[in-house]
């Protein structure tokens, strides 16, 4: 079994940028990606802010090299996965066992919604090819085909922990000598289904979200994709490029408390963080930064905060929710925030928790409010907690 799994490449697209460089610039400018709905055809325009990727489908398709009528989910996925693979610059890939582990929660639902809008008005209309790639797995297959990956591919869909689970599953495939290189992460596009669903749950903020603030009102939905290239120790030794870090710890726990709510005492969150620390061999005091799940909902932030207090009190590391920039990208969030975590180590930065003003009364947590650079960041914990109590924590460590 391989002793270490290394991160060799990263790629990301979200409301604040179309690649890694644009994201770093947006973070430094403290510029969020939320705004009025522009691409999605919905009754919630001008009512609910979202964090849309700024490019339309035709513009995304031109970058990705796919037809313009492809699902937005697949377009976002291919753009970020291509960037990650190019960043890794692994020579002679054909000689290596390569996998693609991708997560999403909506699949090609955006195209299905287009079909049914026409079909329900007139059952002789609607293009059946629009629903051909409806399921989540089709998104993975489309991108894997474009990347030429044939050795192994699979799709993970565990709500908001999906792409974090994809990343540590990829690590296990490498550790058990089944694959040499894996592109892992996730993607999700905004759809009417998700926007209407979260609105029904009454957890969407009508203003820009403010995670971990006493006066938080809910989350803003976002979209995007984020992928890491994980490699074995043998491949890592052969690379001339500078590696980002290792994936030193990971854990998935499930408190099964409620279909859509976290347990009030944060049991799942606590077990995920505790398990990841144990896997990494690190103590809580070793963590230099926590990328919070931090959705901005009353229940989620309170539960996560309670779990963090249980583990880290009284010496809290710097922490923040980058969803204050990107919105909650659902199945893509763990992958996007994993990219942010490895960038924090590489560049010595800590991201601000935008719009945070008032600490929660029941907890003494104080997220970072400003962009910080020049820091010595060796270990980053990234939390991704999903519906049904499916909670995952990843720990990335410098080399």
Which are the catalytic amino acids? 160, 293, 328
* Cα(358)–Cα(165) distance, integer angstroms: 32
Closest listed residue to residue 393, CA positions, set 300, 306, 291, 295: 291
| Radius of gyration of the chain measured on its C-alpha atoms | 20
Q: Are strands 319-320 and 181-188 parallel, antiparallel or unpaired?
A: unpaired
Beta bridge partners of 278: none
Residue 104: phi and psi, rounded to 5, are -165, 165
151 Ramachandran zone, left/alpha/beta (phi>0; psi -120 to 50): alpha
Q: Which is it for the CA torsion 321, 49, 159, 176, positive or negative?
A: negative
Q: How many CA atoms lie within 13 A of 230 on its CB side?
A: 32
* Cα(170)–Cα(103) distance, integer angstroms: 12
Q: Decide if 282 contacts 379 (C-beta within 8 A).
A: yes
CA 31 to each of CA 66, 209, 328, 355: distance values in angstroms, whole numbers, following the listed order: 30, 13, 16, 11
Residue written as token pair 């490029």: 241
* Cα(6)–Cα(231) distance, integer angstroms: 5
* Cα(377)–Cα(382) distance, integer angstroms: 13
- The SS3 call for residue 171 is helix
Q: Decide if 252 contacts 168 (C-beta within 8 A).
A: yes
* Cα(24)–Cα(347) distance, integer angstroms: 10
* Cα(338)–Cα(304) distance, integer angstroms: 18
**Whole-angstrom distance between the N-terminal and C-terminal Cα of the chain?**
19
* Torsion angle defined by CA atoms of residues 291, 295, 300 and 303, in that order, rounded to the nearest 10 degrees: 20
CA 382 to each of CA 31, 258, 319, 335: distance values in angstroms, whole numbers, following the listed order: 21, 23, 10, 10
């Amino acid at each position: 079994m391989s002793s270490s799994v290394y991160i060799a490449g990263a790629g990301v697209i979200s409301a604040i940028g179309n690649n890694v460089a644009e994201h770093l610039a947006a973070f430094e400018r403290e510029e969020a990606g939320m705004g009025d709905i522009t691409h999605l055809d919905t009754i919630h325009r001008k009512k609910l802010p979202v964090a849309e990727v700024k490019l339309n489908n035709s513009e995304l398709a031109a970058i990705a090299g796919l037809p313009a009528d492809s699902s937005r989910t697949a377009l976002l996925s291919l753009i970020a996965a291509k960037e990650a693979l190019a960043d890794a610059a692994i020579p002679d890939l054909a000689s290596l066992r390569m996998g693609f582990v991708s997560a999403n929660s909506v699949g090609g639902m955006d195209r299905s919604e287009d079909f049914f809008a026409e079909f329900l008005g007139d059952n002789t209309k609607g293009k059946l090819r629009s629903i051909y790639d409806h399921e989540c797995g089709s998104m993975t297959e489309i991108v894997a085909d474009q990347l030429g990956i044939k050795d192994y591919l699979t799709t993970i869909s565990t709500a908001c922990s999906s792409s974090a689970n994809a990343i540590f599953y990829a690590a296990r495939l490498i550790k058990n000598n089944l694959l040499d290189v894996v592109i892992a992460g996730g993607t999700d596009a905004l759809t009417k289904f998700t926007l209407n669903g979260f609105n029904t749950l009454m957890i969407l903020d009508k203003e820009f979200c403010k995670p971990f603030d006493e006066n938080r009102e809910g989350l803003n939905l976002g979209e995007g994709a984020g992928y890491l290239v994980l490699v074995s120790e043998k491949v890592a030794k052969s690379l001339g490029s500078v590696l980002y870090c290792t994936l030193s710890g990971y854990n998935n726990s499930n408190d099964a408390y409620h279909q859509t709510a976290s347990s009030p005492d944060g049991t799942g969150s606590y077990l995920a963080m505790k398990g990841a620390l144990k896997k990494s061999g690190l103590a809580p005091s070793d963590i230099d930064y926590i990328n919070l799940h931090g959705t901005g909902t009353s229940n989620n932030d309170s539960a996560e905060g309670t779990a963090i207090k249980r583990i880290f009190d009284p010496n809290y590391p710097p922490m923040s929710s980058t969803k204050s920039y990107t919105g909650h990208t659902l199945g893509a969030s763990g992958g996007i925030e994993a990219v942010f975590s490895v960038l924090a180590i590489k560049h010595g930065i800590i991201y601000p928790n935008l719009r945070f003003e008032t600490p929660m009364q029941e907890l003494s947590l104080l997220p970072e409010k400003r962009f910080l650079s020049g820091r010595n960041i060796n270990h980053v914990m990234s939390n991704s907690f999903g519906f049904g109590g499916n909670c995952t924590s990843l720990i990335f460590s410098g080399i």
